[in-house]
Structure 1
Amino acid sequence: MRTHKCGELNTKHLGEEVSLCGWVHRRRDHGGVIFIDLRDRTGLTQVVFDPDSPDTFAIAESVRSEYVLRVEGVVRPRPEGTINKNMETGEIEVLVKQVEVLNESETPPFPLESEIDVNEETRLRYRYIDLRRADMQKKMRVRRDVTRHLRHFLDEHEFYEIETPYLTKATPEGARDYIVPSRTHENAFFALPQSPQLYKQLLMISGMDRYYQVVRCFRDEDLRADRQPEFTQLDIETSFMNEDQIMELMEEMIRGLFAEILDVKLDDKFPVMTYQEAMNRYGSDRPDLRIPLELVDIADEMMEVDFKVFSGPAKDPNGRVVAMRVPNGSEMSRKEIDDLTKYVSIYGAKGLAYIKVNDRDAGVEGLQSPIVKFAPDEVWEKVLTKTGAQTGDLIFFGADKTHVVNESMGALRVKLGIDRNLLEGKWKPLWVVDFPMFEWDDKSQRWNAIHHPFTAPSCTIEELEANPGAALSRAYDLVLNGLEVGGGSIRINRTTMQHKVFRILGIDEQEAREKFGFLLDALKYGCPPHGGVAFGLDRLVMLMTGATSIRDVIAFPKTQTAACPLIDAPAMVNDAQLRELGIRLRKKAVKEEPKNS
């Protein structure tokens, strides 16, 4: 039907007869001559209708936005003064000889040719229209290019692409499973996989050596801008490589990806930071290194002050007191500081103390704050020196339980860095390593796995049993601009260690056999040392395209309530289907209104 695509034509095609197909992006009637910008996924071409061809001109008069056309004509240069340098095809136009309306269109629910802000619910309801927009087409093209590059790299490094099942078994991985009832196995259920974790470990035991998969995963969890109930990850596993070798290979892959897709040169060697250092300096295990602000521990300085807001957490083994210097922050108004105080309260902080450094050379006399009077001059002098404060700076303080301080001050650091335009550099990758194996849950009075229960510890089985809280894992996360884009670990490859980890997590022999018997059996048959990593493909593409939500880089995403407005899912199923599956729905109890006496 067509000889060329709309975005392909240029001055090399002058004089050629061409055939184009596409949508009417914009129509302009200039009193005797009609111009239409014809659009397909490659771009736009201006096509011209002359009244000297009355039949085609009459059709051009009748078409409207988003009509689908096929045109035949001759490529000619645009008249002098009408060249559009903002268009790839801006030096040429096509004088139409024949036109065919392939389909009409109703008025779209929102305009495609303008930058008007459209409600996201509307965009998702009419996603097939939204995806026609140039910005969305560009994002989908980048996604295609990213996936193609990653596949090519792994193919070149002798990885096998192997598919694993979507109908599998429920396993504890930190989020709820999506459950699928089985018609042929009464009262039994499949689960959609949160990841192919156990299958890829079985592939290593099978001798596949190097595996990867661009795979769909499912998690029934609360959603955020960078989360979806179904998402895509690049899943990788390899045998006979340690964590340093895996990280080095993945660095090479990511560097090549950014060089090819964005023409960006990342660091020749990504920095590596321990989990503990990241938490100490940034309050987060996924710090954005573009932001120069850091947390400085001042518990020692505050231990004996009369100000119990500071001295209490300083003396508490589970408490933390930190200071964070904001360069030129003294210019902030009281309203701005009040707004920031309200912001950190979201993360459990009870307040946000501060000091404005109006004159560093004047010592305490040069400080402005209601808290200065609560500590001796020498304490504040130590704090100023420790934070490196200068005239015009502002110092924020956090004092509370360690997790509250980390979460609130870590979030404040990011907000200040972005709002005050403090970012240094555009891309800052980082490996975070030496995560704790477990974290203690006070509510359930048990240990939980930080990553998953198949991650290998970096200590012996005896050391693990003696002090689970001190054990570190052989896990590694790749962080880019404050977002975790990939995470992995060396796996447990011995049955004795796997049993020990299960027991520490409160999984007894019977439960372990019931849920993971196939893995425990497989580990007995010569399981090689192995490890892997999974990259969040949606999140990676989101970063690379500058999108603010992964919904903008997924063709048909769900809303933040895990619904699809386009096809109106999830939806009820009929009684016959439920009976066939042996399922009966329970109706919610309705509270009776109290009767008036």
Structure 2
Amino acid sequence: MDQTLLDDESPRATDPLGDWRRTHTCCQLTGADDGAEVCLMGWVQFRRDHGGLIFVDLRDRAGLTQVVFSPDHAPEAHSRAHVVRSEYVLAVRGRVRRRPEGMTNPNMVTGEIEVVVSDWKLLNTSQTPPFAIEDRVDAGEALRLKYRYLDLRRPKLAQNFILRSKAAQSVRRYLESLDFLEIETPMLTLSTPEGARDFLVPSRVNQGRFFALPQSPQLFKQLLMVAGMERYFQIVKCFRDEDLRADRQPEFTQIDIEMSFVDEAQVMDMAEGMVRTLFRECLNRELPDPFPRMPYAEAIRDYGLDKPDLRFGLKLCDVSDIVRGCELRVFAKAELVKGLRVPGGESMTRKEIDELTEFVKIYGAQGLAWIKIRENEWQSPIAKFFSEDEKNALAQRLGLEVGDIVFFQAGGADMVNTALGWLRVELGERLGLIDESVFSPLWVTDFPLLEHDPEAKRYVAKHHPFTSPQDGHLELLKTDPANALARAYDLVLNGNEIGGGSIRSHTLDRQTAMFEALGIGAEEAEEKFGFLLGALRYGAPPHGGIAFGLDRLVMLMSGAKSIRDVIAFPKTQKATCLMTEAPGVVAAKQLRELGVKLRESAKETKED
């Protein structure tokens, strides 16, 4: 668009606003402002020319207001308004009036009024955007990420970031009211033995050595407890170089909290109060008081996952003992056999069952057995392998009724629980069993301290290696590590883990025993964690904490389907930024200064 359309004289004035001052946002005016003289500023969302009158929906971060250019009220302003197009930036002066009877818009906060323009100023023109700036946009995500600054103009996304800002402010107010200190911890730190997914940063002044970007401030916040800070928090960026999904990003934000002289109940009560306050202040929603609690073993037994969604039913049921002697070999020989009864599911088509069979294969299942319960028969390829006694026992254990379908999974316990657990979630979504308006929080407690990694052929920490074993379980690290329980707790919301924490090993012997159970010898422990072990020798207080994923929490609060919708400038699932084209190639001179040399297959650098 020709630059001469701008009202400023050429060359452009240093202050394009001049004496124009905005009096209201585009979401403030109501019928109570009838007759008021106002000045609004924003972007043109829609322009409609009705012959004599020109209507413009003016948009800013707060919302929309309809403004009217009338040839009768302001002929000169109306004449100039013919050049206005979508996404032009305007300042308008005018008088508020109620809309004519029958013309109000109940879907707009400002829907009962309009502003009749007396004068206006063109602050900037705009090229035609590559996609419509509206919530019903049909452009692909790749295009929207490339032009993220335009996508963020969409009202729904803008509201997500207003909510995110309010959430962060609510958290700070709550924690400050409880005498927490906000303290920053380093971004450049040391890679650890558990740091295979660290982002590494080469050092120019210490060539051949590397910093790591923190996956968590875990060790530093524990050191702050040793330092006597007692109550710490931080809303902090963390980094993890891993494969991405809808709820993962290479850089993410944590609400990180640590407390001295506390036990599990005190940390959980504090965190629970924070979440309740957050929902009350930001969404005007009341959450249960207290949140329900469930041991890890019960969550796995009934739901297959350690983050169960309690907004709907469908529990898993162990039937291993019933089918142990049946003629179906895969059932009879399996470590674990579980069933999932779906009331009224007998009407599922074979195509739908086949889709669910493919779905569970994602989680390591070889297939999916099923039985439809009909009036006088069990319809299924596997029904013939069960005796009448076994059928009766299954019907009683599972509570089967005519019209049901029951799905079975058999094999290793981890696979069976994971596959059926996620099948339960998939069925809840497909069958419309989930009330999306409900928020259902849950504490999951009594986690295993360790879990066996079959690839590494050793035990690894279920949460992290600084979690304390429960009372009486320290000796189990040597005699029966699989049954040692942790002083750990996760907060789950609608089937998503939003926070996780634990009481830490605050004595040298406990921390050393944990390292030994993980196969970390004294020499390696001293090399990688010497600063922590040294600190534990100087009177570390009992302490514990919790960290919340702010991105995931706001995603759930806003109803977004991906955390990319609540992160201003997110990365793709390949960890790239389509807008800036990061990560990028760097100059060979920079690499030489850093003492870094690329392998032949990776050589792609800018010229000096």
Same fold (TM over 0.5): yes
1:108 aligned residue (129, 146, 159): 129
Residue-by-residue CA offset, 1:30-70 (whole Å, 9 max, x unaligned): 11111111111111111111224343223210011001011
CA RMSD of aligned residues (A): 1.5
1:337 aligned residue (339, 346, 353): 353
Tell me if the contact between 2:317 and 2:338 (Cα under 8 Å) persists in the aligned partners: yes
Counterpart secondary structure, 1:542? helix
Matching of residue 78 in structure 1 with residue 78 in structure 2? no
Q: Hey, what does 2:159 align to over in structure 1? A: 138
Task: Report deviation, 1:326.
Answer: 0.4
Deviating more after overlay: 261-270 vs 555-564: 261-270
Q: Distance in 1 between matches of 2:351 and 2:304?
A: 25
Matching of residue 356 in structure 1 with residue 372 in structure 2? yes
Q: Hey, what does 1:27 align to over in structure 2? A: 47
Residue-by-residue CA offset, 1:370-421 (whole Å, 9 max, x unaligned): 2121121101101100111111111111111111111111111111111111
Letter in 2 for 1:215: V
1:373 aligned residue (373, 376, 384): 384
Q: Distance in 2 between matches of 1:450 and 1:175?
A: 16
Q: Distance in 2 between matches of 1:89 and 1:288?
A: 38
Letter in 2 for 1:377: E
What is the percentage of aligned positions where both structures have the same residue? 55
Matching of residue 289 in structure 1 with residue 310 in structure 2? yes
Q: Hey, what does 1:18 align to over in structure 2? A: 38
1:471 aligned residue (460, 484, 501): 484
Q: Distance in 2 between matches of 1:241 and 1:124?
A: 44
Counterpart secondary structure, 2:90? strand
Matching of residue 507 in structure 1 with residue 520 in structure 2? yes
Q: Distance in 2 between matches of 1:423 and 1:133?
A: 28
2:428 aligned residue (405, 414, 417): 417
Q: Hey, what does 1:445 align to over in structure 2? A: 457
Matching of residue 556 in structure 1 with residue 556 in structure 2? no
Deviating more after overlay: 294-303 vs 170-179: 170-179
| CA distance 1:174–1:341, shift in 2 (3 Å) | farther
Task: Report deviation, 1:262.
Answer: 2.0
Q: Hey, what does 2:502 align to over in structure 1? A: 489
Residue-by-residue CA offset, 1:220-266 (whole Å, 9 max, x unaligned): 01100000000001000001110011112211221222222222222
Deviating more after overlay: 248-257 vs 103-112: 248-257
2:511 aligned residue (482, 498, 501): 498
Task: Report deviation, 1:433.
Answer: 1.0
Letter in 1 for 2:146: R
Task: Report deviation, 1:563.
Answer: 0.5
Tell me if the contact between 1:179 and 1:192 (Cα under 8 Å) persists in the aligned partners: yes
Q: Distance in 1 between matches of 2:151 and 2:30?
A: 28
Q: Distance in 1 between matches of 2:517 and 2:108?
A: 63
Task: Report deviation, 1:345.
Answer: 1.6
Runs of 4+ residues over 4 Å off in structure 1: none
Q: Distance in 1 between matches of 2:370 and 2:546?
A: 42
1:188 aligned residue (201, 209, 214): 209
Residue-by-residue CA offset, 1:92-129 (whole Å, 9 max, x unaligned): 22221211111110001111146132211111111111
The total of aligned residue pairs comes to 580
Letter in 2 for 1:89: T
Task: Report deviation, 1:456.
Answer: 0.4
Q: Distance in 1 between matches of 2:115 and 2:312?
A: 50
Tell me if the contact between 1:26 and 1:113 (Cα under 8 Å) persists in the aligned partners: no
Task: Report deviation, 1:446.
Answer: 1.3
Q: Distance in 2 between matches of 1:8 and 1:261?
A: 19
Matches within 5 A, 1:85-484: 85-113=106-134, 115-173=136-194, 176-313=197-334, 319-359=335-375, 365-423=376-434, 426-458=438-470, 459-484=472-497
Q: Distance in 1 between matches of 2:286 and 2:305?
A: 26
Deviating more after overlay: 569-578 vs 174-183: 174-183
Counterpart secondary structure, 1:253? helix
Deviating more after overlay: 410-419 vs 78-87: 78-87
Residue-by-residue CA offset, 1:148-188 (whole Å, 9 max, x unaligned): 11111111111111111111111244651001111111211
Tell me if the contact between 1:240 and 1:529 (Cα under 8 Å) persists in the aligned partners: yes
For structure 2, list consecutive stretches of 5 or more residues without a partner in the other structure.
1-20, 604-608
Q: Distance in 2 between matches of 1:289 and 1:113?
A: 34
| CA distance 1:358–1:42, shift in 2 (3 Å) | same
Tell me if the contact between 2:41 and 2:92 (Cα under 8 Å) persists in the aligned partners: yes
Counterpart secondary structure, 1:566? coil
Counterpart secondary structure, 1:588? helix
Deviating more after overlay: 365-374 vs 149-158: 365-374
| CA distance 1:423–1:250, shift in 2 (3 Å) | same
Q: Distance in 2 between matches of 1:589 and 1:429?
A: 47
Task: Report deviation, 1:499.
Answer: 1.2
Tell me if the contact between 1:292 and 1:423 (Cα under 8 Å) persists in the aligned partners: no
Q: Distance in 2 between matches of 1:367 and 1:411?
A: 25
Tell me if the contact between 1:324 and 1:397 (Cα under 8 Å) persists in the aligned partners: yes
Residue-by-residue CA offset, 1:328-354 (whole Å, 9 max, x unaligned): 011111121111112112212122111
Deviating more after overlay: 169-178 vs 536-545: 169-178
Task: Report deviation, 1:423.
Answer: 2.5
Tell me if the contact between 1:76 and 1:95 (Cα under 8 Å) persists in the aligned partners: yes
Q: Distance in 2 between matches of 1:551 and 1:447?
A: 34
Matching of residue 542 in structure 1 with residue 555 in structure 2? yes
Letter in 2 for 1:516: F
Q: Distance in 1 between matches of 2:512 and 2:448?
A: 18
Deviating more after overlay: 297-306 vs 8-17: 8-17
Letter in 2 for 1:16: A
Q: Distance in 1 between matches of 2:198 and 2:446?
A: 28
Task: Report deviation, 1:71.
Answer: 1.2
Tell me if the contact between 2:193 and 2:528 (Cα under 8 Å) persists in the aligned partners: no
Counterpart secondary structure, 2:346? helix
Task: Report deviation, 1:534.
Answer: 0.3
Q: Distance in 1 between matches of 2:109 and 2:363?
A: 48
Tell me if the contact between 2:473 and 2:484 (Cα under 8 Å) persists in the aligned partners: no
1:517 aligned residue (519, 530, 540): 530
Task: Report deviation, 1:463.
Answer: 3.0
For structure 1, list consecutive stretches of 5 or more residues without a partner in the other structure.
314-318, 360-364, 591-597
Q: Distance in 2 between matches of 1:518 and 1:339?
A: 53
| CA distance 1:589–1:255, shift in 2 (3 Å) | closer
| CA distance 1:372–1:460, shift in 2 (3 Å) | closer
